[in-house]
Amino acid sequence: MAQALRSLLSFAVVDLAGSVVRFPVWWYSDGVVAVARWGWQGLRYRARAYAIPLWLRHFFVPMYGEHEWSGRLISVLMRFVVIFFRAIALGIEALVYALIVLLWMGWPPIALFLLVVNISDGIGWNPLTSVFSSYGS
C-alpha cells in the first residue's frame, strides 16, 4: 500500500507538475520550431506550385506557337501578369505563415490574461472595469 501511495505521489508531483512547468519551455522552444518548420514547408510547397522560375524561364517563348509580333507581345504581357500576381500571392502567403508563427508565440500570454480576467470577474473584481472606469470620469 505504501508503495502504491508513493507511486501515486510521484506521478502527481513529478509528472503532472513537471508537465505544467515544462509546457512554457516546450511551447517557446520546440513548439515554435515545429510551427516555423511547418510554415516553411508549406511556403516551399506553394512556391513549387506557383512555379515562378518555370514561368520566368519561358517568358519570351511564344504561346501556342504564335510567332507573329502581336502573338509574342500578348504572350509576354500575359506571362508578366501571371508572374506578377503569383508573386503577390506568394508574398501574401508568406505573411500569413509569419502571422501564424507570431500568433503561436502570443497565444499563451493572451490566454493567461483572459484566464485572470475571467477568474477575477468571477470573484467580483474585474481589473478591466477598474482600469477603464477611471477614464470615463
Tens of pLDDT, residue by residue over 39-56, are: 999 999 999 999 999 999
Would you say how long the chain is, in residues? 137
pLDDT of the residue at 11: 72
Three-state SS at 137: coil
For every residue of 91-136, DSSP letters joined together read: HHHHHHHHHHHHHHHHHHHHHHHHHHHHHHHHTT--HHHHHHHHHH
pLDDT category at 89 given cuts 50, 70, 90 is very high
Checking if the pLDDT of 132 tops 80, the result is no
Checking if the pLDDT of 121 tops 80, the result is no
Cell of 133: 472606469
Phi, psi of 66 (to 5 degrees): -85, 105
Nearest residue to 38 via CA among 137, 107, 46, 77: 46
Q: How far, in Å, CA of 40 to CA of 30, rounded?
A: 15
Is-above-0.85 flag for pTM? Answer: no
pLDDT of the residue at 60: 85
Checking if the pLDDT of 135 tops 80, the result is no
Q: Rg (Cα) of the chain, in Å, rounded?
A: 28
Structural contact between residues 25 and 90, judged by C-beta atoms closer than 8 angstroms:
no
pLDDT of the residue at 126: 67
- Report the first-to-last Cα separation within the chain, whole angstroms: 64
Those residues whose C-beta lies under 8 Å from the C-beta of residue 22, and which sit 6 or more positions away, are none
Q: How far, in Å, CA of 16 to CA of 22, rounded?
A: 10
Checking if the pLDDT of 128 tops 90, the result is no
- The mean pLDDT value of the chain amounts to 86
Picking from 37-51, 85-99, 114-128, which range would have the lowest pLDDT averaged per residue? Answer: 114-128
